[in-house]
Structure 1
């Protein structure tokens, strides 16, 4: 029985390469669901045409570029290029799991943090499996929260939510009657988004920016 020829081996290699390219494109297309995945918190509050998770990720990345220098003193050695990679992928798992909103309202159903992380890690195995290791590595680095880049991205993640709440308040973009009737029982307007953010900030720079955004939000809310 004749053995495989060099041409046969080359053909196998070509088919493997084609399969790898197909798998990578499939993974990218799956992640593109983030463009249509709406942020749950805004939906609960009845925001008109709320932002997508992908739009939120862009906001986080833009904060790194625009205001990242304010964190440098507290996060020495922070690599802003690496931080941008973390910003791009930090919510990619939600393309499969969906967005789970953090809630401050004591009447809201709690989030099982361990179950959430486990589901997102499983999703990333699917979404990043055929892609370069840097994709999965960036997501894992963000989840670990033990690098200056990960801390910066989490601060910007929280601040982006507050900035978005400010924009929705200024533009009168929400109506609780359109949202879930039992949501936000203990909070008026978009106050709960600030209540969930404040205790989770880890840097003085983040807290200073938060205070400024909250002041503008309250002025818009109260018609000042």
Structure 2
């Protein structure tokens, strides 16, 4: 177990920019950690009143959802295609996260990897909800960049990424954003 090393390695997420924004010409884009914070805050606020969601699991999942990027970086859709597609990306993410969790004691490693794997495999209510929150958070960030003066046309593809949002509350938020900013 090496908690110091774990924290040193994961702290890089505060400095790693979200690659998709760089590709779109955003100067000084949000970090992966900033995205994870915002996603987790949304998960807390949107999940706290849900009887069908285990809030603790949702929050753990949210904090961990991009932790593999401390090892493999933030992959864009075109880089995912280059490495062999989404299944290959999932393999790399699981391998990187498993390696990172080796720095933790057995109990933490087992519990956290189980929750992380549920997210990656999109196999629980919490995972399905969080995947949709993750997309919605990305859209909020695109809107923020649009409001900062970046061209709408550079950000259009981020709107199409939200087509998978089916949760009623999230869909209502998405509809509002579409009316106001699209």
Which TM-score applies when normalising by structure 1?
0.72
Report matched runs for 1:142-161 at 5 Å. Answer: 142-161=119-138
Asked whether the equivalents of residues 64 and 153 of structure 1 are also in contact (C-alpha less than 8 Å), the reply is yes
Report matched runs for 1:196-211 at 5 Å. Answer: 196-198=161-163, 200-211=164-175
Q: Structure 1, residues 94-124: CA drift from partner, whole Å, max 9, x if none?
A: 1111111237xxxx98361111111111101
Name the structure 2 match of 1:36: 15
Q: Unaligned regions of 5+ residues in structure 2, if any?
A: none
Aligned length: 176
C-alpha spacing 1:28/1:137, structure 2 compared with 1 (3 Å): farther
Name the structure 2 match of 1:213: 177
Name the structure 1 match of 2:30: 51
Q: Structure 1, residues 55-99: CA drift from partner, whole Å, max 9, x if none?
A: 1111111111222357x3xxx521112211100000000111111
CA RMSD after TM alignment? 2.1
Asked whether the equivalents of residues 102 and 196 of structure 1 are also in contact (C-alpha less than 8 Å), the reply is no
Q: Using CA pairs under 8 Å that are at least 6 residues apart, name the structure with larger relative contact order, 1 or 2.
A: 1
User: Which one has the largest radius of gyration?
Assistant: 1
- Structure 1 runs of 4+ off > 6 angstroms? none
Name the structure 1 match of 2:55: 80
Q: Structure 1, residues 154-198: CA drift from partner, whole Å, max 9, x if none?
A: 1110000000111111121x37xxxxxxxxxxx823111001221
**Higher relative helix content:** 2
